[in-house]
Amino acid sequence: MKKTTVYYFAKGHLGQHEDWWHLIENDDGAYQIEHEWDHISTGSSHKSEGSETFSLEEGLKRAPHKAVEKIKELLGIFG
């Protein structure tokens, strides 16, 4: 399995809401997209973290535009 980070975004005045999007190439040649997050509320110290994996098709629908552009570039998908 090969995992390539295609997008990282941090927001919040301390950058405490972080999101990563990864393109995963499985050993069988199939692709998936993973969204990983780590969000902390500074007022309550509530933490939300985790990840979810999507099929390539579903991931391209859910990922931010910049992540989709990078994935399409890496896979040679045009249009």
Domain count, the chain: 1
Say yes or no to pLDDT of 46 above 80.
Answer: no
- pTM of the complete model: 0.85
CB–CB of 51/35 below 8 Å?
yes
Cβ neighbourhood burial of 54 (10 Å; 0-12, 13-18, 19+): middle
At 78 the pLDDT is 80
Residue 33 domain boundaries = 2-75
Question: Residue 14: beta bridge partners?
Answer: none
- Count of all residues that appear for the chain in the document: 79
Give the CATH number, domain containing residue 52.
3.10.450
Say yes or no to pLDDT of 45 above 80.
Answer: no
Question: DSSP string covering 43-69, please?
Answer: TT--EEEEEEEEEHHHHHHHS-HHHHH
